[in-house]
């Protein structure tokens, strides 16, 4: 008679639980993206300041409490698209060759951040203009970015064969890289997307390159 196989049973239960968790995450991300699109459309049509959370919930066909389970504020409904950027940029910087200088690594790392501007420039331009023209959104976006640069600084430290200590100079480089991104986006938006964002970012970085 075969005895019980607890290892197999436990593994199967773990696999099923993990699969269900992944499915829930995918479903939640899909609903979140749909709610964000509804919010963006309404903000563009009515104006950010005029739209309330109740308006957003009604437009999405959900209750206010349901909407708040996905977004804690109107600002988050717009800026959620940027949530993963800090981690993605840091990962890209960390993956750069160890013998590459920090400034070059940061420049290449930011390619991740500007990719969606290149894939869908019309939507990206609309989103960027909304953020820049709305003080509450602009302030919240800058606050988000304030949380990015420590991760970028740590990525610079960790990507070398012999990790260097985190110094003010490294933190300044990370912060300056994000400033270059913002300035490039400002010029790109002012041109109605006609200028090349990659070229603008290259120009911004070149202005601070060592000579």
Q: What is the pLDDT, as a whole number, of residue 20?
A: 64
- Which residues make Cβ contacts (< 8 Å) with residue 101, sequence separation at least 6? none
Q: What is the pLDDT, as a whole number, of residue 18?
A: 60
Classify residue 183 as exposed, middle or buried by CB count within 10 Å of its CB (0-12, 13-18, 19+): middle
Q: What is the pLDDT, as a whole number, of residue 17?
A: 58
Helical (H) or strand (E) element with 103: helix 102-109
Q: What is the pLDDT, as a whole number, of residue 82?
A: 85
- The tokens describing 63, both together, are 């209750």
Q: What is the pLDDT, as a whole number, of residue 21?
A: 64
Contact 78, 95 (CB under 8 A): no
Residue positions counted in the chain: 211
Helical (H) or strand (E) element with 21: helix 6-46
| Cα separations in angstroms, 151 against 106, 145, 147, 157, 192 | 12, 10, 8, 10, 31
Task: List, for residues 69-96, the tens digit of each pLDDT value.
Answer: 999 999 999 998 888 889 999 999 999 9
| Segments in the chain below pLDDT 50 | 1-6, 8
Q: What is the pLDDT, as a whole number, of residue 4?
A: 47
Q: What is the DSSP string of 152-204?
A: HHHHHHHTSSSPPP--HHHHHHHHHHHHHHHHHHHHHHHTTT-S-HHHHHHHH
């Amino acid at each position: 008679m075969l005895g019980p196989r607890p290892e197999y049973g436990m593994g199967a239960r773990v696999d099923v639980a993990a699969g269900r968790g992944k499915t829930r995450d995918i479903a939640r991300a899909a609903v979140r993206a749909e709610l964000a699109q509804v919010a963006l459309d309404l903000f563009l049509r009515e104006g950010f300041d005029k739209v309330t959370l109740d308006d957003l919930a009604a437009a999405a066909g959900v209750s206010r409490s349901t909407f708040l389970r996905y977004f804690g504020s109107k600002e988050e409904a717009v800026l959620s698209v940027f949530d993963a950027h800090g981690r993605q940029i840091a990962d890209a910087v960390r993956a750069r060759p160890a013998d590459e200088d920090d400034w070059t690594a940061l420049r290449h790392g930011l390619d991740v951040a500007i990719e969606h501007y290149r894939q869908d420039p019309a939507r990206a331009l609309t989103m960027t203009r909304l953020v820049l023209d709305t003080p509450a959104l602009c302030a919240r976006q800058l606050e988000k970015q304030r949380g990015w640069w420590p991760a970028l600084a740590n990525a610079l430290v960790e990507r070398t064969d012999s990790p260097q200590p985190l110094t003010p100079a490294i933190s300044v480089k990370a912060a300056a890289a994000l400033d270059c991104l913002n300035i490039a986006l400002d010029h790109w938006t002012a041109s109605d997307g006609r200028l090349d964002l990659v070229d603008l970012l290259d120009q911004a970085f070149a202005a601070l390159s060592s000579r």
